[in-house]
Structure 1
């Protein structure tokens, strides 16, 4: 549903007062010498004032919003970024990803980065195990990395990370051990393979202001089961994505951060105890799963380190 100020029976005199304020705020940026900053600030003001006028925001509601954002800031620390959580749950993160990762031919779709990536994950050899002691059903994941013309991409770096069977990432463990993450490289044919865990659904942190917001609007904090990938290779666009589990009931309910794309839903085929594994690993009487995820990278070098650790913003200098 969309409305405009015209729907609220606002008098011409009142409209003029409100529009005059918008124009005066916009004019305050006339001396800005940075064209991009000027564009950002002007658009922000227009949309913010349009929102206030559209919903006829009360002073009590505006004060509540300020208190809410203050609480988001207070709970944020070096291990928890509540503002990222807010961006994710409002779909702003996914919209930014959509804008910055335009569809290109048959390239693999991108999705949210999430808050649980670590730079210092261990390296594993092809066929290695990323679980690192994290508990869950073993899963064999394999595939290829190619460009959009089908050429294999050798030595592509693949970062993978995921939660354990209880829905916890290693950064949430009390003992600070590292588990459920690693990186590996494709072979000369662009192929990769590793052991991980069958992903499970889990709730995002919901004991703070963002969780209160989700509860107030009747939304689930649960994310669909997924496994994170970040794939980098020279002269190709860095891919940040997940794969999701076909048949996960949470897919019908919805992903709390809107990260699911149909092309990323993969079948994790469960194997009976005693079924021979691809690498001869002995799993005893344990069930395991396997899936395939072929990755296609779009052209265009993109330094993801810049995205995670950008230089000081030049907008305000």
Structure 2
């Protein structure tokens, strides 16, 4: 690159950055100017062609068009670039023994049905029954009574309820921890599944030789007064996808033993599962101060 070319490119960056100097909100000014520097640095580093720029615009347009109130392709795009997990990491600073956070994913739905302790969130979703239990405490080990817990997961066919389009509500629920911070419920044993890959993000993964598969997991969102809200998963120990999760969501501290129970093994609550095998897992949740 000639000195003259370098001067022209650098001057353009400086002019665009300076155009945001008058932004009244200092945080917005910081964000827009930093974004400008990084976008221009990317284009200059890879020597972006006009044809590639047009392709990128077309790709982002397609991402927007496929996004609706049931499918968030923009979150999916952020997920596969690891930006979602990086944002989670930045905003959930390590604090003593607090449970690590991970991505919320595109399939959380507010106002899931309230399920009593010991109840079943499966709602008829296909899958092997799984008994989940644990306690919610703070980082000093004190129980957090009446913590609000949201749980959701994909079914055995690899789909969340909202992906079916028939308004079913399954494999999700809300619970309230007991006075001692304990919780327990029936779910289904998590299994691997692909993120939606029939759209532009799926095409990107295919073109780059990446798998759309997610490691088996169960989602949690936990809230309590005065404590940091936690969004996390637990993962199945032994899952072959733990090291290649498509959205980089796996944390070693969140891998748990889902212990298989042969058919006929007595259940913790006396539920009769007939000739069905089942599993059980314990997940003790520790919330950081707000």
TM bracket, shorter-chain basis:
over 0.9
Is 1:48 matched with 2:50? no
Instruction: Tell me the equivalent position of 1:82.
Output: 73
Is 1:269 matched with 2:269? no
Instruction: Tell me the equivalent position of 2:63.
Output: 72
Is 1:290 matched with 2:268? no
Is 1:235 matched with 2:223? no
Task: Spell out the pairing of 1:156-235 with structure 2 (5 A cutoff).
Answer: 156-235=147-226
In structure 2, distance between residues paired with 1:93 and 1:224: 16
In structure 1, distance between residues paired with 2:66 and 2:174: 31
Between stretches 40-49 and 30-39, larger displacement belongs to: 30-39
Q: 1:118 aligns with which of 90, 109, 121?
A: 109
Structure 1 counterpart SS, 2:242: helix
Question: 1:284 offset after TM fit, Å?
Answer: 1.0
Instruction: Tell me the equivalent position of 1:310.
Output: none
Question: 1:271 offset after TM fit, Å?
Answer: 0.5
In structure 2, distance between residues paired with 1:58 and 1:282: 64
Instruction: Tell me the equivalent position of 1:299.
Output: 289
After TM superposition, the score normalised by the length of structure 1 is 0.90
After TM superposition, the score normalised by the length of structure 2 is 0.98
Question: 1:44 offset after TM fit, Å?
Answer: 0.5
In structure 2, distance between residues paired with 1:232 and 1:55: 44
The aligned length equals 290
Question: 1:174 offset after TM fit, Å?
Answer: 4.0
Question: 1:173 offset after TM fit, Å?
Answer: 2.0
RMSD of the TM alignment (CA)?
A: 0.8
Structure 2 alignment gaps of length 5 or more: none
Is 1:95 matched with 2:86? yes
In structure 2, distance between residues paired with 1:87 and 1:193: 33
Deviations 1:105-151 (A, max 9, x none): 00000000011111121111111111011111000000110000000
Instruction: Tell me the equivalent position of 1:58.
Output: 49
In structure 2, distance between residues paired with 1:82 and 1:20: 35
Structure 1 counterpart SS, 2:8: helix
